[in-house]
Amino acid sequence: MADLIHMSAAELSSALAAREVSSVEVTTAHLAQIDAIDGNLGAFLHVNANALAVAEEVDAARAAGEPLHALAGVPVAVKDVLCTLDMPSTAGSKILEGWIPPYDATPVRKLREARMILLGKTNMDEFAMGSSTEHSAYGITRNPWDGDRIPGGSGGGSAAAVGAYEAPLALGSDTGGSIRQPASVTGTVGVKPTYGGVSRYGAIALASSLDQIGPVSRTVLDSALLHDVIGGYDHHDSTSIPTPWASFTDAARRGAASGSLAGVRVGVIKELDSEGFQPGVRAQFHATLEMLAAHGAEIVEVSAPNFDYAVSAYYLILPAEASSNLAKFDSVRFGLRVTPEGTPTVESVMSATREAGFGDEVKRRIILGTYALSAGYYDAYYGSAQKVRTLIQRDFAAAFDQADVLVSPTAPTTAWKLGEKLDDPLAMWLSDITTIPANLAGIPGMSIPMGLAAEDNLPTGLQIMAPAHADARLYEIGATIEALLDAQRGAPFHTLNPHFSAGGNR
Amino acid sequence: MAKDALLDFDKALEIFEPVIGLEVHIELSTKTKMFSSAPNIFGDDPNTAITPVCLGLPGSLPVVNKEAVRYSISLGLALGCEIAETCRFARKNYFYPDLAKNYQISQYDEPIAFDGELEVELDNGDIITVPIERAHMEEDAGKLTHVGGSTGRIQGAEYSLVDYNRAGVPLVEIVTRPIFGTEHRAGEVARAYVSTIRDIVRALGISEARMERGNLRCDANVSLRLRGAEKLGTRTETKNVNSLRSIERAIRYEIQRQAAILEKGGIITQETRHWHEDTGTTSPGRPKSDADDYRYFPEPDLLPIRTTRETVEELRALLPEPPAAQRRRLKAEWGFTDLDFQAIVNAGLLVEVRETIEAGAQPQAARKWWMGEVSRTANERGVEPSTLVTPEQVADLQSVIDEGIVNDKLAREVLVGLMAGEGSAREIIEARGLAVVSDDTALIAAIDDALLSQPDVLEKIREGKVQAAGAVIGAVMKAMGGKADAARVRELVIERAAAV
């Protein structure tokens, strides 16, 4: 049997079901990998001390012949934005240091109900604000391909954990690309489901109308398996979609088996195929398009003229909602409390707490959002941004008239050097240009590795988008493309990681 | 605090025209809260009727209470409002420790009900139509208790306690348009308006509507303008007005206070003012301006609410009789004079009297208790009569009289026990030993004694001068410590006069 940490969740699931391996062994192997490399990698903020105990219970249940979920006993890491009953949930912020919620987020509850093994909580940009995980209050996370580079963000911890074999699966959250962009720069797979496809209950909110929880993995099938666990209607989240979903796992298996894209119309969004993108990224993208065409896909060019305004609109809507969502962090009921000298008042305590508890990027966005919602500015900023959002939805609707799926590079560049964009927030924001439109429109998007950029030998990602509710189409076509790419290179993408055979980085 | 200068009320009205506007908040009596499954209950231990949603814990999300939406639609219809086919919640952002999320989920530009009007009846039977701008749904805040400091207010307090049990209780806020032409009756119109709303929500069964508990709260906006002027004056908003009587007093006070300032050439500060029940005055709260910036925006955690025509019609069909029509009907059914009936209405006791009659009491008896003993005691204590006893208790009280267990005099003592919460009428009679002596043997002994000690009276009775029996009855009642049925004593006296 292959080294346990290099196996996919699907492979582990089969091996566990066949009792070729125990959950304790699988969990131990992953905990050992975390123990060996995470001091340097920095993917985890908290490792679950209870993981092995749960693994033992699952093994006992299996031995007793209890019916178990396919992923029972398979480890999973959880982004720290999700509330967990038994582990601190900080969203990467000092203001929530040590806070243990009195409830599980719905996706976490579903992981437990499937009896998966929660390995711990992964690092992230504070309150998911950032594209590099450098804005975490608890330190940086490194890229498993090159330790001097960022793992993407905000979900750099989940992507790095999966990319560095600390976990086969992880949960992320995607508000403007926080699942897909880290997947792209770490050579992993990440999916942002249709808005409303996975409950947001217990996900510490950044921007309520954009946030979506989704899976992170090394293969399309693994993401589908995890999505099937966490997805579905939840009465605790009014924005969750009540209609049932078809099996994403079935869709992924169907796609992987087909080997052909005959009759599939693949739309290339002109505005997201920019000459300003890194040449190696563009080259990989065009090589991939040729390969798709060679296997029967019909490549069509589509235009989405309003995408030019997407980043601007996004950086009004997100801060506006965030400024309100983050108001609750005032020291009164939970989290950090800073009491200033002298005769403090409730206002001065709230103020001092927020001053000390929030990082610069968070403050920047709260100020921006507060301004955008102010009387006299609302129409010009928030109001206009909502109109742009409608226009972008129309662009997508028109594009999906011509194509079954839309594709673009997931990110304009490969992973940049740690610290490189830290002093240039605008440059950091622009790195989300490719992923933001899907959030504004509420449609599903997936990132799969497409190859290495010639100039730096770092992973590039292919973004695939489908109409709202057509997540299954993403999994089917994504799995076909993944299989074709794997066949072309003769091995799964992650085996290209120079640290692969060493079992990890550093 | 310096005392406000007040201008004589009539003088004030000579120079100025008062314009009032009312905001009434009604706590709905749904089983659970507006946006969470926490129970909607009054007076539990602090911070026990809560969920993560009530505390605004990170990751928690609101879910709309469908029952609260139906209640709000019913109320909107009863107020003659249009019901929005689609309406939305919005966030009203401001920092305050009783507001768990530091924003209130309310409705802003898309209320569920709008453009209504309500006919209210004044003490003399005049009908005034109050224009209603909107009725919208929102959540209540928690409750702060300021400890230390002399005023019980946040300024000067050592520390403050927060109870989130009330946080998230469903509210409907009803906002009137400016009400013109009320003149000397500004306060009375306001009182009658709130009283009518109270009758409506009780008839709908959507709120306890008890002002002293804060189920129904009224903020009164008052402004004055010079007679003949077109432009409205600067308004103040008086809060903390917790009884019907205070509404009237507070408006009158504000008219006199503002008039005194304006008459001297001063200007009115746009502000919220606090009503003080004990002193009958208002004091400045926080300054308020139209530029107060709550940064409203549509609540992204909730979908818009769609109301179908069918739902509206279904709820419209279930509306109870409008208060004015109901009054006409009840007056006829009960056979009261205009005067008696209007007195009940003016005292705000129509619901109590009606429910007492429904619980089995005769109309006159129900009227007598509420308008008599109960109102008198309420006045003495400065509370609303409805806080002292329930209609069921009054009906119970009357039943023990009707059954001859106590007489009217003893019943008053039973009422004292009922108001003190000593149990049911029968329990109180038992505990306080109030039952009339129904044992004829004891009565006969006392009567014989009284007759024999007053031979002249005995003689007169025997001669057929029955009215002379009064002296004997008095003596017997005294001997029995008042615990005798006077009618029975009279019968027995006449019987025994022949026998002894």
Residues in chain B within 8 Å Cβ distance of A329? 58
Are A312 and A448 part of one and the same domain? no
Residues A136 and A285 in one domain: yes
Task: Inspect the interface and report whether the beta carbons of A375 and B293 lie closer than 8 Å.
Answer: yes
Instruction: List the structure tokens of B8.
Output: 């004589």
Instruction: Please tell me which residue of chain B has the smallest CA distance to A90.
Output: B58
Q: What is the per-residue pLDDT for B151?
A: 66
Residues A381, A288 share a domain: no
User: In B, which residues are within 8 Å of A375 by CB distance?
Assistant: 291, 293, 295
Q: Is it the case that residue B290 has pLDDT exceeding 60?
A: no
Q: Are residues A302 and A427 in the same domain?
A: yes
| Structural domain containing residue A367 | 307-389
How far A332 CA sits from the closest chain B CA (Å)?
7
Among A105, A239, A332, the residue with its CB nearest the CB of B97 is: A332
User: Searching chain A, which residue's CA lies closest to the CA of residue B164?
Assistant: A333
Our CA-based measurement puts residue B156 at a distance from the nearest CA of chain A, in whole angstroms, of 10
- Residues A125 and A174 grouped into a single domain: yes
Q: What is the rounded CA–CA span in Å between residue A197 and residue A201?
A: 12
Top residue of A236, A368, A378 to mutate, by most chain B CBs within 10 Å, is A236
Could you tell me which of A91, A154, A102 has the C-alpha nearest to residue A336? A91
Structure tokens at B344: 């009940």
Q: Residue B58 and residue A370: Cβ atoms within 8 Å?
A: no
Give the residue extent of every domain in chain B. Answer: 9-312, 321-432, 440-499
The share of chain B scoring above pLDDT 90, in percent, equals 61
User: Mutate which of B158, B297, B302, B306 to disrupt the A interface (most A C-beta within 10 Å)?
Assistant: B297
Between A89, A101, A328, which is nearest B101 by CB? A328
Residues of A in Cβ contact (< 8 Å) with B57:
101-103, 333-334
Q: Is a pLDDT exceeding 90 seen at residue A408? A: yes
- Nearest CA-CA distance, residue A53 and chain B, Å: 27
| CA–CA distance, A191 with A220 (Å, rounded to integer) | 9
Residues A342 and A198 grouped into a single domain: no
Q: Give the nearest chain B residue to A200 (CA atoms).
A: B59
Contact B52 A328 (CB under 8 A): no
- Residue type at position B83: I
Residue finishing a domain among A358, A389, A420: A389
CB A247 within 8 A of CB A228: yes
pLDDT in tens, A221-278: 999 999 999 999 999 999 999 999 999 999 999 999 999 999 999 999 999 998 889 9
Structure tokens at B27: 């706590």
Name the pairing type of β-strands A405-409 and A169-173: unpaired
List, for residues A422-462, the tens digit of each pLDDT value: 888 888 788 899 999 999 999 999 999 999 999 999 999 99
Cα–Cα distance measured from residue B397 to residue B425, given in angstroms and rounded to the nearest whole number: 6
Neighbours of A384 (CB within 10 A): 16
Residue A428 lies in a domain: yes
Percentage of chain A modeled with pLDDT above 90: 93
Q: Which member of B102, B154, B301 has the closest CB to residue A328? A: B102
- Which tokens belong to B20? 């009032």
C-alpha angle B163-B168-B170 in degrees, rounded to nearest 5: 130
Q: Residue B277: its pLDDT value, please?
A: 86
Contact A324 B64 (CB under 8 A): no
Active site residue A447: no
Average pLDDT over residues A106-119: 98
A493 vs B445, residue with greater confidence: A493
Q: Do B295 and A373 touch (CB under 8 A)?
A: yes
Residue with more model confidence, A207 or B467: A207
Secondary structure of chain B in HEC code, one letter for each residue: CCCCCCCCHHHHHHHEEEEEEEEEEEECCCCECCCCCCECCCCCCCCCCCCCCCCCCCCCCCCCCHHHHHHHHHHHHHCCCEECCEECCEEEECCCCCCCCCEEEECCCCCCEEEEEEEEECCCCCEEEEEEEEEEEEECCCEEEEECCCCCCCCCCCEEEEECCCCCCEEEEEEECCECCCHHHHHHHHHHHHHHHHHHHHHHCCCCCCHHHCCEEEEEEEEEEECCCCCCCCCEEEEEECCHHHHHHHHHHHHHHHHHHHHCCCCCCCEEEEEECCCCEEEEEEECCCCCCCCCEECCCCCCEECCHHHHHHHHHCCCCCHHHHHHHHHHHHCCCHHHHHHHHHCCCHHHHHHHHHCCCCHHHHHHHHHHHHHHHHHHHCCCHHHCCCHHHHHHHHHHHHCCCCCHHHHHHHHHHHHCCCCCHHHHHHHHCCCCCCCHHHHHHHHHHHHHHCHHHHHHHHCCCHHHHHHHHHHHHHHCCCCCCHHHHHHHHHHHHHHC
CATH of B440-499, one of 1.10.10, 2.60.40, 1.10.150, 1.20.120: 1.10.10
CB contact under 8 Å between B102 and A327, yes or no, is yes
Is the CB of B95 less than 8 angstroms away from the CB of A201? no
pLDDT at B284 over 80: yes
Arithmetic mean of pLDDT over chain A: 96
Note the pLDDT of residue B240: 80
User: Cα distance from A359 to chain B (closest Cα, Å)?
Assistant: 18
Question: What are the two backbone dihedrals, phi and then psi, of residue B384, each rounded to the nearest 5 degrees?
Answer: -80, 140
- The whole-number pLDDT of residue A440 equals 98
Task: Say what percent of chain B tops pLDDT 70.
Answer: 97
Reported as a single tens digit per residue, the pLDDT across A391-406 is: 999 999 999 999 999 9
CB contact under 8 A, B295 and A327: no
Is the domain of A252 the same as that of A372? Answer: no
Same domain, residue pair A328 and A269: no
Mean pLDDT of chain B: 90
Note whether A460 and A447 are within 8 A (CB). no
B101·A327 Cβ contact <8 A:
yes
Interface of B with A in 50-79 (CB under 8 A): 52, 55-64
Q: Decide if A204 and B58 are in contact by the 8 Å CB cutoff.
A: yes
Q: Could you tell me if residue A31 is inside a domain? A: yes
B162 inside 8 A of chain A by CB: yes
Is the CB of residue B336 less than 8 Å away from at least one CB of chain A?
Answer: no
Question: What pLDDT was estimated at residue B53?
Answer: 97
Determine the angle formed by the axes of helices B391-402 and B408-419, rounding to 10 degrees: 150
8 A C-beta contact, residue B24 and residue B190: no
Is the CB of B52 less than 8 angstroms away from the CB of A334? no
Choose, out of B61, B91, B162, B306, the residue to mutate when testing the contact with A (most A CBs < 10 Å).
B61
Among A124, A195, A332, the residue to mutate for chain B (most B Cβ within 10 A): A332
Least confident stretch, A400-414, B15-29, B206-220: B206-220
Token pair of B12 as six digits:
């004030």
Q: Which residue of A99, A202, A373 is in closest CB contact with B297?
A: A373
Residue A180 in this model has a pLDDT that exceeds 60: yes
| pLDDT confidence band for B437 (50 / 70 / 90) | low
The answer to whether residue B302 neighbours chain A at the CB level (below 8 Å) is yes
The reply to whether A419 and A366 lie within a common domain is no
| CA dist., res. B471 & res. A318, Å (int) | 91
Which pLDDT band, with edges at 50, 70 and 90, does A503 fall under? very low
Residues in chain B: 500
Interface with A, mutate which of B36, B47, B57, B161 (most A CBs under 10 A): B57
What tens digit of pLDDT does each residue of B196-250 get? Answer: 999 899 989 999 998 988 899 999 999 999 999 999 999 999 998 989 999 999 9
Average pLDDT over residues A204-208: 98
> Which residue is catalytic, options A136, A154, A173, A217?
A154
Kindly give, in sequence order, each residue whose CB lies less than 8 Å from that of residue B79, ignoring residues fewer than 6 positions away.
B113, B116, B117, B118, B132, B135, B174, B197, B200
Q: Beta strand pairing status for B236-241 and B271-276?
A: parallel
Among this protein's residues, is A154 annotated catalytic?
yes
Whether B301 sits inside 8 A of A238 (CB atoms) is: yes
Residues A120 and A214 in one domain: yes
Selected catalytic residue, list A23, A178, A258, A323: A178
Paired tokens of B421: 């919460």
Count of the separate structural domains present in chain A: 2
Per-residue pLDDT at B478: 82
pLDDT of residue A506: 41
**Whether A99 and B58 lie within 8 Å, measured CB to CB:** yes
In a domain? residue A506: no
Whether residue A235 and residue B63 make contact (CB cut-off 8 A), yes or no, is yes
What residues in B contact A236, CB-CB < 8 Å? 61, 63
Judging contacts by C-beta atoms under 8 Å, the chain B residues touching residue A321 are 297, 300
pLDDT band at A502 (very low <50, low <70, confident <90, very high): low
Q: Using pLDDT thresholds of 50, 70 and 90, give the confidence band for residue A505.
A: very low
Catalytic residue among A79, A121, A192, A421: A79
What's the pLDDT tens digit per position in B31-51? 999 999 999 987 789 999 999
Flag whether A505 is in a domain.
no
Q: Among this protein's residues, is A270 annotated catalytic? A: no
For residue A207, the chain B residues in CB contact (below 8 A) are 300
- Domain closes at, from A389, A415, A434: A389
Q: Does residue A350 sit in the same domain as residue A477?
A: no
Query: What pLDDT, on a 0 to 100 scale, did the predictor assign at position A2?
Result: 61
Average pLDDT over residues B427-445: 79
Query: Are A36 and A143 within one domain?
Result: yes
Q: What is the DSSP string of A350-391?
A: HHHHHHHHS-HHHHHHHHHHHHHTSTTTTIIIIIHHHHHHHH
CA distance B126 to B96: 43
Angle at B406 between CA B403 and CA B412, to 5 degrees: 125
Cα–Cα nearest to A302, from A444, A400, A443: A400
Check if A332 contacts B (Cβ < 8 Å). Answer: yes
B297 CB near a chain A CB, below 8 Å? yes
A59-103 pLDDT, tens per residue?
999 999 999 999 999 999 999 999 999 999 999 999 999 999 999
Q: Would you place residue B292 in the very low, low, confident or very high pLDDT band (cuts 50, 70, 90)? A: confident
- Residues in A closer than 8 angstroms to B97, CB to CB, are 330, 332, 346
Contact of A89 with chain B, judged by CB distance below 8 Å, is answered with yes
Contact criterion met (CB < 8 Å) for A238 and B297:
no
Mean pLDDT, residues B421-441 taken together: 81
Q: List the CATH number of the domain containing A492.
A: 3.90.1300.10
Lowest mean pLDDT among A126-140, A200-214, A366-380: A366-380
A234 interfacial to chain B (CB closer than 8 Å)? no
